[in-house]
A = this chain, B = another copy of it.
Amino acid sequence: MPVATRENARSVTTMSTTTDSSLPHIVVVGAGFAGLNFCQRIPSHRARITIIDRQNHHLFQPLLYQVATAGLSAVDIAQPVRALFGPRPNLTVLMSEVTGFDLANKMVKHARGELTYDFLIVAAGGVTSYFGHADWEQFAPGLKTLDDALRIRRQILCSFERAETESDAAKRDAAMTIVVIGGGPTGVELAGAFAELTRTVLNRDFDHIDPAKARVLLIEGSPRVLAQFDPALSESALHQLQKLGVEVRTGLRVEAIRAGEVVAGGETIRADNIIWGAGVAGAAIAKQLGAELDRAGRVKVLPDLSVPGHPEVFALGDMVTLVDAKGVTVPGVAQGAIQMGAHAARLVMRELDGEGFAPAGREAFAYHDKGSLATIGRSSGVGEIKGVKLTGFTAWLAWLMVHLLFLIGFRNKVSVLIQWTYSYFTYKRGARVITGATGGPPANAA
């Protein structure tokens, strides 16, 4: 068991009495599913943990699309990291941005100092990828953070406000067009929720426009939506989307995105609202680990999830790529991150528990697919749990249970449940309040 030879000078001078500095030190970068699950599985008397995140909250990302579509409020799906751990001894939460690593000296550099470690867990998540078209980002925002979700919500609500007083028919139509790019779970859930927002909520709010006639377009490059699901479920999802009024265009490649315009398959579509749900890449910090990355910038970890050449460093979650012990490519979903966090914790605990530092004998990570679920608007969806295919209301109900079950923090569960029940029975949405915009809607959506 290696013992840290240097200590973070700052934390020594201000160390609180609840930290035992003789314990081995684990630095965890990222308070997402992987990082949190790792921490929760390390008993507080076995190691000191410092968890760093540039946000002060854990985000329940599977529900982020509900914030973007005015179904939930931001606070419902976020929980302050400090509050999650409360007064747990030997755990320090640091709100700061990691800027680099010095793996040779076992050191993490962050915006406000540096830390030494015995074990390092890097689980910084993913970012939206535009496949080399970084200039598209300004016209087609992605959905990764709370601020992204609030920005998309504000933009869409404002564009309907603008449509309400727009006399030019072409401009009005553009303001009432939402294009979602990417037919994976995020794209499908967004498109379904937008269709529902316009057809069952906003439709009763306006006098001069009919939001129920808003155009919601889902563009997917491959031949079917939800390509990672069974083809029968993709087919069901397609029909459910169409029933909600979503125009689904598969096999259509996006060629260009400009202010208020998407060019796809040679056709120019005018839309003030373009949402990018297509690509995910590893967080930029992945590069700093010095390991080989795949094309999407994800770290190619060893079977035990450690970074090649550094058995004391694990990389987890959306920022890594791995074909697991069973030959399965681990998907970039919450389940994968949670299981990776648990696996790394198990390995670290075993070595802290007296077996010593033994990377050679480590167990390889194996992903257990507990099933996949995606909603398509209110009371429909598709999914597969232990080989059983679910569609329609059953899939939606399963999704609801699973997501409520996993929502971290008591208050959030109750608040989300109330909002959902309220939305379900009244078709209204409480969260469609525009913040961050004063002086009326912007004159131009871009």
User: Which residues of A in the span 155-210 have a Cβ within 8 Å of any Cβ on B?
Assistant: 157-158, 161-162, 164-165, 167, 204-209
Asked whether, in the complex, the Cβ of A11 is within 8 Å of the Cβ of B205, the reply is: no
Q: Which residues of B contact A13 (CB under 8 A)?
A: 167
Interface membership of A414, Cβ < 8 A: yes
| Interchain CA distance A329-B355 in the complex, whole Å | 79
Number of copies of this protein chain within its complex: 2
Let me know if B431 and A75 touch, CB within 8 A: yes
Task: Say yes or no for A146: interface residue by CB 8 A criterion.
Answer: yes
User: Could you say which residues of chain B place their CB within 8 Å of the CB of A150?
Assistant: 435
A232 at the interface (CB under 8 A from B): no
Let me know if A430 and B409 touch, CB within 8 A: yes
Shortest C-beta distance, A296 to chain B (Å), equals: 21
Stretch in A342-350, A364-372, A438-446 with 4+ CB within 8 Å of B: A438-446
Contact with B along A84-120 (1 / 0, CB 8 A): 0011000111111100000000000011110000000
Q: Are B438 and A75 in contact (CB under 8 A)?
A: no
As a 0/1 sequence over residues 21 to 59 of chain A, the CB contacts with chain B under 8 angstroms (1 = contact) are 000000000000000000000000000000000111100
With a CB–CB cut-off of 8 A, which chain B residues contact A145? 438
Cα–Cα, bound, A83→B204 (Å) = 8
How many A residues, CB 8 Å from partner?
Answer: 72
Residues of B within 8 Å of A439, CB to CB, are 54, 97, 111
Known: A73-B75, A161-B95, A439-B97. Contact between A432 and B167, CB under 8 A?
Answer: no
Binds B, one of A239-247, A309-317, A415-423: A415-423
B432 close to A83 (CB less than 8 A)? yes
CA of A76 to CA of B430, assembled, Å:
8
Is A394 engaged at the interface, CB distance under 8 Å to the other chain? Answer: no
A160 to B382 alpha-carbon distance, docked (Å): 44
- Docked-complex contact A86 and B204, CB < 8 angstroms: yes
**How far apart sit A158 and B146, CA to CA, in the bound complex (Å)?**
17
A434 within 8 A of B: yes
Residue of B at shortest CB range from A16? Answer: B207
Chain B residues with Cβ under 8 A from A165's Cβ? Answer: 10, 94, 96, 112-113
B433 touches A80 (CB 8 A): yes
| Inter-chain contact A418/B414, CB cutoff 8 Å | yes
What 9 A-B pairs have minimum CB-CB distances, sorted nearest first? A82-B205, A73-B75, A14-B208, A95-B161, A411-B430, A78-B433, A97-B440, A56-B434, A57-B433
For window 3-20 of A, CB contacts with B under 8 Å fall at 10-11, 13-16, 18-19
Is A143 close to B, CB under 8 A?
no
Q: Closest B-chain residue to A50, C-beta based? A: B207
Name the residue among A409, A419, A433, A436 with the largest chain B CB count within 10 angstroms.
A433
For A79, the closest partner residue in chain B by CB is B433
Contact in complex: B208, A440 (CB < 8 Å): no
Complex contact B80–A205 (CB within 8 A):
yes
Q: Say whether, besides A73-B74, A75-B73, A82-B206, A55 and B94 are in contact (CB < 8 Å).
A: no
Question: How far, in angstroms, from A233 to B352 measured CA to CA in the complex?
Answer: 61
* Chain B residues in 8 Å Cβ range of A10: 165, 167
Q: Which residues of B contact A206 (CB under 8 A)?
A: 82, 93
**Is A253 located at the chain interface by the 8 A CB criterion?**
no
Min C-beta distance of A69 to chain B, whole Å: 14
A418-B415, A418-B418, A419-B411 in contact; A92/B434 too (CB < 8 A)?
A: no
Tell me the nearest residue of chain B to A441, going by C-beta: B95
Q: How distant is the Cα of A430 from the Cα of B57 in the complex, in angstroms?
A: 11
* 19 A-B pairs whose Cβ atoms sit less than 8 Å apart in the complex: A54-B440, A55-B434, A56-B157, A56-B433, A57-B434, A75-B431, A78-B433, A82-B205, A86-B204, A92-B208, A96-B441, A97-B440, A112-B165, A147-B435, A150-B435, A411-B422, A412-B430, A414-B418, A415-B419
Chain B residue nearest in CB terms to A167? B10
Could you tell me if B415 and A430 are in contact, using CB atoms closer than 8 angstroms? yes
Residue among A94, A164, A418, A441 with the most chain B CB within 10 A? A164
Roughly how many angstroms separate A19 CA and B110 CA in the complex, as a whole number? Answer: 60
Residues of B within 8 A of A95 (CB): 158, 161, 164, 440-441
Counting CB contacts under 8 A, is A362 at the interface?
no
Q: Please name the residue on chain B nearest to A162 by beta carbon.
A: B112
Complex Cα spacing A428 to B83, Å = 8
Asked if residues B204 and A87 are in contact (CB atoms below 8 Å), the reply is: yes
